[in-house]
Amino acid sequence: MDQIIVTGNGALSGDIPIAGAKNACLTLMPATLLSDEPLTLTNAPRLSDIRTMTELLSSLGSEVSSLADGHVLALSSHNVTSRRADYDIVRKMRASILVLGPMLAREGYAEVSLPGGCAIGARPVDLHLQALEAMGAEMDLRDGYVHATAPDGGLKGATFEFPLVSVGATENALLAATLAKGTTVLKNAAREPEIVDLAECLRKMGAQIEGEGTHTITIEGVERLGGATHRVVTDRIELGTYMLAPAICGGDVTCLGGRIDLLQAFCEKLDAAGISVEETEKGLRVRRGNGRVKAVDVTTEPFPGFPTDLQAQMMALLCTAEGTSVLEEKIFENRFMHAPELMRMGASIDVHGGTARVSGVDKLRGAPVMATDLRASVSLILAGLAAEGETVVSRVYHLDRGYEHVVRKLSGVGAKIQRVAAQ
């Protein structure tokens, strides 16, 4: 099992290319199931989660080819051969549930394992099912699978208001509604850029959609969708992560392809902490001068609020801030598992339920630490950039799910970082 070794060595300088969005690509790929014509996705990231979705779609009969060194995905679902998404594949990634809506809309039936064997209610899959049931689907949960059936004549347009804002459930309902008969109105819908990206792609395929990016999305169902070519939107989470690299250890770095509108609330917090963010023709230029950053309070919220997927990385920055910061996690429970590992590096963090109080220290110290999840793993790498001595991060396989070429990108701007096989 690999480890990443980081040695703090001062300010960073240069450019970091930002990949296409993992979460957007994982949502766009199941759209192939809605059509028997080819779908081509450009600017695709090369990640293990993308390979898992490729494996899942292939098991259903889709043809998926990786072109241009993996940055182009050519998908075709002209011959769907299976309507069952097996647990052995689905358990690897929660985004697998996104094949449910398209399969139900096109085939009228789908069997999809509950993601990761989870119970309904945790990171709620029930909202996906409720939205599809509003369109007339009948759900039977047994043996760890959702057995979903559309009524005779297929799904019907409906008005559904999400009781909680859910990105995944909005995506699933949006995918299914494109082929439903009549008009579907999704209220209290998620507004994330990945939702907007999905709607733009579906519109290229012939869908009739209005209101994406707002809390109300209206879809007029069509009889069939065609093929399309679509460029995956920039990964705003990777963007924010690499913006924090010069913020935490100083320097002047431009994140290529970055846009402030993808991370407005995050950029405002960086500004409050004393970090300069400037939008240029190349992307977002991030600079930090001498001295410690200022403490800021952070509350995670659905877009356009502060992203939960940047909370761990932001905590790493605030560990060395001047003053005390309060981070409140309102999206997912149990998302402070990185805190004990940061404390091994000398951070002062007090966690109570969904709130963490971070009292900034003068300096972090390198230490052996263990990644607990995708975002936690990269937060430890960021902390290592600012720490004295050597930080050894174990269980870095989490990184491969969401970040490509972390070592190459950070070493390209001057970081002292390497990936090695564990002894």
User: What is the chain's Cα-based Rg?
Assistant: 22
DSSP state of 19: P
Whether residue 302 is preceded by a cis peptide bond, meaning omega within 30 degrees of 0, is no
Strand (E) or helix (H) holding 276: strand 276-279
Give the residue ranges of DSSP H helices in 274-417: 311-318, 339-344, 374-386, 399-402, 406-411
| Active-site position among 25, 118, 249, 267 | 118
Q: How far is CA 108 from CA 147, 154, 156, 204, 208, in A?
A: 11, 6, 12, 23, 21
Q: CA 164, CA 334: separation in Å to the nearest integer? A: 19
Strand (E) or helix (H) holding 74: strand 72-76
Q: Dihedral sign, CA of 336, 197, 136, 63?
A: negative
- Return binding residues for UDP-N-acetyl-alpha-D-glucosamine: 94, 123-127, 309, 331
CA angle 201, 303, 243 (to 5 degrees): 95
Residue 14 CA from chain centroid, whole number: 25
Q: CA 247, CA 263: separation in Å to the nearest integer? A: 15
Buried b (16+ CB within 10 A) or exposed e, 246-267: bbbbbbbbbbebbbeebbebbb
Give the E-state strand segments of 134-189 in sequence order.
138-142, 145-149, 159-161, 183-187
Inter-residue contact 252 to 280 (CB < 8 Å) = no
**Known catalytic residue: 118?**
yes
- Return binding residues: 22-23, 94, 123-127, 309, 331
Q: CA 19, CA 21: separation in Å to the nearest integer? A: 6
**What is the amino acid identity at position 210?**
E
- Return binding residues for phosphoenolpyruvate: 22-23
- Catalytically active residues, by annotation: 118
